[in-house]
Amino acid sequence: LTLYVNVDLDYNVFFPNVFTPNDDGENDMWTGYGTENVKEIENVKIFDRWGELVFETNNIPLNEPGFGWDGTFRGQMMQPAVFVYVAHVRFIDDSIRKFVGDITLIR
């Protein structure tokens, strides 16, 4: 007897497209969110409109804003603008998916 099991993993990962790093305790950090099917964010890079890398981090958990971007670059608060991110996310089946989008920083 052979039994085949097809596992359909949920690859839903959400990266907000707006955040407000103004130290009011709400929406102050930017990070990714997902389900228990995600192992970690392997790498995320954030670029300004000229293509300069303003933030990069590796091997961070999802759903943990404290590991994300606080809206600073070289110790200075960034002005309101639109940024682009590229994130590589590893799932529990060891597959890696790429997510790309934009982030609007509002003060």
Encode pLDDT of 4-44 as tens digits.
877 666 778 999 999 999 989 899 999 999 998 899 999 99
18 strand-pairing partners: 104
d(CA 75, CA 71): 10
Q: In whole angstroms, what is the distance from residue 4 CA to residue 18 CA?
A: 43
The candidate with the shortest Cα–Cα distance to 30, out of 11, 50, 45, 12, is 45
- CA gap 12, 35 in Å, rounded: 7
Query: Is 103 within 8 Å of 49 (Cβ atoms)?
Result: no
Is 99:15 a contact under the CB 8 Å cutoff?
yes
pLDDT tens-place string over residues 86-99: 999 999 999 999 99
Written as six digits, the tokens of 57 are: 């981090």
Determine if the pTM surpasses 0.85.
Answer: yes
